[in-house]
Amino acid sequence: MAPRCMMNTLLRRGSAYTRCLHSQHPPDIYTPIAQPVLAPVPVSVPKKNSSKKYKRLSRRRRGKVDPVSSEGIINHDLLSISESYSTILIPEALIEHYYHRENSRIVESLEIIKVISTGHGVGICSLEQGEGRMIVMVPFTTVGDIVKVKLGRHHSVYAEGEIMSVLVPSSLRDDSLIRCKEFGKCSGCQLQMIPYQEQLSFKTEVVRNAYRQFGFAVDDLPIEGTVASPLQYNYRTKLTPHFGSRRDKITLGFESSGTRRLFDLKQCSIATEVLNGALQNDRDELETIVKKYKKSGTVLLRDKSVNGMRGYTTNHTEVITQQIQDYKFQFPAGEFFQNNNSILPVLLAHIRTFLRPGLHKTIVDTYCGSGFFGISLSKGMERLIGIEISKGSLEFATRNSQLNNLRNAEFLLGSSEEIFKGLDNVDPGETVVILDPSRKGSNHDYLNQLAKFKPSLIVYVSCNVHSQARDLQYLLNNTENGNQYEVSVIRGYDFFPQTKHVECLAQNPLLDQGRMDLSKDLSQVSIDQPEDKSFEHGDYAGELEDYDDALSHSTNFSYAEEKTINDQDAKMRAFEEIPLQRDSSKKTVKSRRSSSALFSHPPPPPVTKPKIAVSPKLVPKKPLKLSNSYKLGGRNEGVEEHDHETDDIPSPELVELYGHIKTCRELRKKYQTVSYQYPEQNPKNQDDWQIYPPPPRPTYDNKKILPESAQPDSKTFDISKCHIPPADETVAIGNNSDDVLQVIDSDGKPLATDIPTLRDYYMDMEKIISISSDGPAKSFAFRRLQYLEARWNLYYLLNEYEETSVSKKNPHRDFYNVRKVDTHVHHSACMNQKHLLRFIKHKIKNYPTEKVIFRDNKVLSLEEVFQSLNLTAYDLSIDTLDMHAHKDTFHRFDKFNLKYNPIGESRLREIFLKTDNYIQGRYLADITKEVFSDLENSKYQMCEYRISVYGRSIDEWSKLAAWVIDNKLLSNNVRWLVQVPRLYDVYKKTGLVKSFHEIIRNLFQPLFEVSIDPSKDPKLFVFLQRVIGFDSVDDESKVDRRFFKKYPIPSLWDAPQNPPYSYYLYYLYANLANLNSYRVKRGFNTFVLRPHSGEAGDPEHLISAYLTSEGISHGILLRKIPFVQYLYYLDQVGVAMSPLSNNALFLTYDKNPFPYYFKRGLNVSLSTDDPLQFSYTREPLIEEYSVAAQIYKLSNVDMCELAKNSVVQSGWERCIKEHWIGQDYSRGGIEGNDVEKTNVPDIRVAYREETLQTEYDLIEYYSSMCLEG
């Protein structure tokens, strides 16, 4: 042990990282950390060492360390660990002894407590003889690993360790993911043993640590999650292996981890296949190149493509051509160019979202190199200026601008002292400066000049986030205009999967522009309808605010960290919910069972009203024993269960609350039953139902011509083969007192008499509104929802691995080949932009003279239409179409509707996206068939397309049916819903209708007529066989007109104001109910009501939909009315959610309540809404699932459960659903689950069913009580 005087001398030096804390520290400081002890070996510490090597080492240690170097980053990260864990570091006097490799030690058991920014795992071990504790840094480990380590080189802050074996692997470690044979030897990839999503989370934390290191308050920074690379392996286009010869044997590879020795590399899992082929197959050729050199060196391997043929080069001066999106770039093989081309389009797309046409007119690309960023982002800009201090790079940048036909580009040779010289004629207020420096970052001279230039926006891209954070800290705090900038976006990009490195993007606009954007957003929000205050006051107000806060993350969003915190909190709440044993004298049952049984039926939450004396006569009508079979989905044998029978007398308020819940559920049941919206009431779900053409039979031989039974419907359909029933001469059509159409018999009596009247409907609705706005009811429902979420967290904690095991054992099935239905998608936006663009270009090139539209008193051809727009097919691009919903549509439904117009031109929408136009919708039919073909080829994806009937004229139904049938738009992968836009006020102003009654008549009279006499319009009759139901659409945020005891009927509604949402819904419901009651009698399929509801506006819309509708779309406002959310859960009302759509319109993705609904057990599914506006791929539904899976951390079982939910919610016939998800699916529970088809394990289904049954049991138990006497 070192002499005390020497240790005190070291302490007086004041080294930032050298601390010698003595053994007088109380032992409990160290209890949180496992402290492995080194094997005792006699220590002999020399008093003095005068070796030159040690002096050089000491000088280096005393020197200033660059904080962005590896050593500086390690020092910062380890200092934070030592402070967090009260670590005792090695006294500096012992460094010499531990430095030499021959004195290495073995740590028998070391627990990894953290992974630092360099990718090394870190643990803490104790020294022998009371010398203290030290940090050990071990590569190729992750948090939670317990490893055996050989200590190597020692530093003043830490010791390097070499992993000998993994004793206990972490839950994050999965060695089956490792592809590289040299993993553990090669230091290039540190993270292959970690799932990719965890790698992204680690890199997000690296970004946060970097900014924390340089004084930023990271909790206030907009640091977003790291963006995944499309390619996780075989992405690297350049390798520079080292070579050396020893004993006439040439070694070509990299240095072994922790040493300077080379190992021979024959395969690199992150290099492209071409480069791997060179390493394996062209070994002799590479060795010939190496033999030209006497000493060791580095050889270049660069992937290249010549005339479509892939190859490689070793020549540093050879010119390489790379294609990135629509741009080509040339550069010398030895010069810098991004090595992961797969993620570059993603980065460019994100940067383009920062650029604002009209405000930003010039791009200045500093550190431009060969001009990659400037050229790729120049579209839409008036001018591009590139600045580079390397003359050779500048020549290639100029060449690349000419190669890409850029006429507005110029490249200047600058110097570090006057980098912005020559920009006197550039307006900084209209300029975006992009900088992408080398790993060492920028310098103060450049940053001072940049701030003095004062551009409108600074975009900083860096492969070293630490140097980026350092530079931004200097720019914002130490330059002339730095305080006028803010950091608005920080986002990591995984350019280097499997490694520790992360590329980082920072957006820095001027503050005045940031304020302008904010005021713009606030002005948009302010026009929204104020929410009903009845949902915000009362005893529940404080809890509701906490609830909203829990669901709404700040804009500084890091989902990985936030999810970890939320999950931990949820688990703690789950365990806190467990009630104490009432009888402490009872012995604990020693049985292996789920601990959730302890809180399967927690006591109701405490009421907030004053306590009322309970009458002794308040007793149950009959004793009710609650379900006692629940084990969190487990089916363990021989387990003693709780006895949930209780003799406790509840408070009258609790009985009243459960009575209200039962009343609300009975109201919904009445409305659904009389309208024949339950699946078992629909004739198409009976055994004798037949539809023509029938579903195609499966076929597996693609080399043969498909038999007719397997051909798609559009090929085989023949309307003459359809059975058209005869007319019913005994009935007629009439109106009741509420102006609702109904079928009457020969005596004038209506066939359906139990349909709720308009007054009944509003009275029932008012009753639920009153209950749901009551403070105790909201508090009660909120706590029940919290309980359901806590229960889920505990279930998932205990059963995650069992679920995964069941899923893996299921042959053939995975998420991709289980049936899934897009339950909410609009037909006119069913294609993605790229598909529509190709289609438009195809028509222009091949049918330019075809007459397509009547405008300005003449018929125009397609060519003439585009000539009037000054456009050609070549000019068209995704950006030209401008149909994606971007930031400008947020809370602006009016702007979103304009996105349906290609290039902003309504005439193009009429030509390509309308059914009723000059060409009779032929173009829309053609592209619809292409979309159908994609669906049929995918086999496992189905869509329910919403197509519009406006109610403007009586013949709309006939025209729509003729369009579908004549164009044979029939597919077993597709069903239709008819959407009715709420546009009465528009039609009234334009004189198309005189009263609201005309819209109702135009919507429903043709349906009543064709149901009575199908021969009157056979096409409409056949089309209706594939129509599921009705939707009500438009901007929900419009202010509704409220009723007060006066309920005007439609024939009297002739005012210009639009009727409220609830009024529309009632008349859709009431007419459907009468229509369905007659169609059931004739054996025809019935229709359901599935409106858009809860997307924005008044939360009362959700109450109206709860009564009248089978399911809804969106439902995001359920988060604000917990009582109604609880009702939706109890009745398993289908909710088709579209987080990507909400993200563009009303609610950002991170604040979407979808994951909370799913955990609580609501019947939710994922849908795309408008692929044309939101999607980027030809499989928008898969895109929706994949984004949700990445952001919300959904497991494969979660995805399959959502897919099963979508099938159950959908309107396909029972016989088809039986084929998709099992013969007994309608029975529910485990009995109805066919895991071989759904890939949802029985334990998940049992958990969902029994949790719901628990709620039903509680409702029945408490609502069965009454007050006697």
Pick the CATH number of 238-510 from 2.40.110.10, 3.30.565.10, 3.40.50.261, 3.40.50.150: 3.40.50.150
pLDDT (0 to 100) of residue 1208? 95
DSSP structural state of residue 463: S
Peptide bond preceding 693: is omega within 30 degrees of 0, i.e. cis?
A: yes
Range 526-553 average pLDDT:
35
Contacts of 1088 (CB under 8 A, 6+ apart): 677, 1028, 1029, 1030, 1072, 1109, 1110, 1111, 1211
Range 639-657 average pLDDT:
62
Q: Is pLDDT of 555 > 80?
A: no
| Residue 1093, burial from CB neighbour count under 10 angstroms (0-12, 13-18, 19+) | buried
Q: Is pLDDT of 682 > 60?
A: yes
Give yes or no for a contact between 970 and 717, defined as CB atoms under 8 angstroms apart. Answer: yes
Q: What one-character-per-residue DSSP string does 1176-1197 give?
A: -SS-HHHHHHHHHHHHHT--HH
Q: What are phi and psi for residue 500, nearest 5 degrees?
A: -80, -15
Q: Is pLDDT of 471 > 70?
A: yes
Higher pLDDT pick, 614 / 64: 64
Which tens digit of pLDDT belongs to each residue from 125-146? 876 555 567 788 899 999 989 9
Superfamily of segment(s) 4-171: Nucleic acid-binding proteins (2.40.50.140)
Range 1071-1089 average pLDDT:
95
Neighbours of 903 (CB within 10 A): 17
Higher pLDDT pick, 1044 / 684: 684
Averaged pLDDT score across all residues of the chain: 79
| Residue 277, burial from CB neighbour count under 10 angstroms (0-12, 13-18, 19+) | middle
Distance CA 416, CA 966 (A): 70
Higher pLDDT pick, 964 / 55: 964
Higher pLDDT pick, 103 / 122: 122
| Residue 813, burial from CB neighbour count under 10 angstroms (0-12, 13-18, 19+) | middle
pLDDT (0 to 100) of residue 127? 65
Range 337-357 average pLDDT:
86
Distance CA 652, CA 1262 (A): 10
Q: What are phi and psi for residue 59, nearest 5 degrees?
A: -60, -40
Q: Is pLDDT of 897 > 70?
A: no
Query: Domain spans of the chain?
Result: 4-171, 238-510, 708-727+760-1259
Of 14-18, 286-290, 337-341, 545-549, which has the strongest mean pLDDT? Answer: 337-341
Q: What are phi and psi for residue 860, nearest 5 degrees?
A: -105, 140
Which tens digit of pLDDT belongs to each residue from 902-925? 877 888 888 888 888 888 899 999
User: Which of the residue ranges 32-41, 904-913, 1055-1064 would you say has the lowest mean pLDDT?
Assistant: 32-41
User: Which of the residue ranges 46-60, 545-559, 878-892 would you say has the lowest mean pLDDT?
Assistant: 545-559
Range 1132-1158 average pLDDT:
90
Q: With bands split at pLDDT 50, 70 and 90, how would you rate the model's confidence at 1188? A: very high
Q: With bands split at pLDDT 50, 70 and 90, how would you rate the model's confidence at 1044? A: low
Distance CA 1194, CA 160 (A): 37
Helices H / strands E in the chain, number of each = 40, 38
| Residue 145, burial from CB neighbour count under 10 angstroms (0-12, 13-18, 19+) | buried
Which tens digit of pLDDT belongs to each residue from 866-892? 888 888 888 888 888 877 676 666 655
pLDDT (0 to 100) of residue 598? 31
pLDDT (0 to 100) of residue 204? 92
Superfamily of segment(s) 708-727+760-1259: Metal-dependent hydrolases (3.20.20.140)
pLDDT (0 to 100) of residue 151? 84
Q: With bands split at pLDDT 50, 70 and 90, how would you rate the model's confidence at 200? A: very high
Q: With bands split at pLDDT 50, 70 and 90, how would you rate the model's confidence at 711? A: low
Which tens digit of pLDDT belongs to each residue from 746-777? 888 898 889 999 999 999 999 999 999 888 89
**Residues linked to residue 485 through DSSP beta bridges, in sequence order:** 510
Same fold, 4-171 and 708-727+760-1259: no
DSSP structural state of residue 254: E
Binding residues: 338, 367, 388, 436
Q: Is pLDDT of 292 > 80?
A: no
User: Which of the residue ranges 599-613, 866-880, 1227-1241 would you say has the lowest mean pLDDT?
Assistant: 599-613
Q: What are phi and psi for residue 452, nearest 5 degrees?
A: -65, -35
Q: Is pLDDT of 1090 > 90?
A: yes
Range 501-510 average pLDDT:
89
Which tens digit of pLDDT belongs to each residue from 403-462? 888 888 888 887 656 777 778 788 888 899 999 888 888 888 888 888 888 899 999 999
Q: Is pLDDT of 91 > 80?
A: no
pLDDT (0 to 100) of residue 979? 94
Contacts of 169 (CB under 8 A, 6+ apart): 144, 145, 175
In angstroms, what CA-CA distances link 768 with 458, 675, 1040?
Answer: 53, 20, 18
pLDDT (0 to 100) of residue 128? 58
Range 531-541 average pLDDT:
34
pLDDT (0 to 100) of residue 628? 38
pLDDT (0 to 100) of residue 624? 41
Distance CA 1214, CA 1220 (A): 10
In angstroms, what CA-CA distances link 826 with 575, 823, 975, 976, 1172?
Answer: 44, 10, 12, 10, 9
Q: Residue 916, SS3?
A: coil
Question: Which position has the token pair 């920014």?
Answer: 117
Q: Is pLDDT of 932 > 80?
A: yes
Q: Residue 436, SS3?
A: coil
Q: With bands split at pLDDT 50, 70 and 90, how would you rate the model's confidence at 956? A: very high
Neighbours of 52 (CB within 10 A): 7
Q: What one-character-per-residue DSSP string does 1194-1259 give?
A: --HHHHHHHHHHHHHHS---HHHHHHHH-TTGGG-TGGG--HHHH---HHHHHHHHHHHHHHHHHH
Binding residues for S-adenosyl-L-methionine: 338, 367, 388, 436
Q: Which residues are part of the catalytic machinery?
A: 463
Using a pLDDT cut of 70, give the percent of the chain over it: 76
Q: Is pLDDT of 840 > 70?
A: yes
Higher pLDDT pick, 340 / 524: 340
* Structure-token pair, residue 436: 């992408």
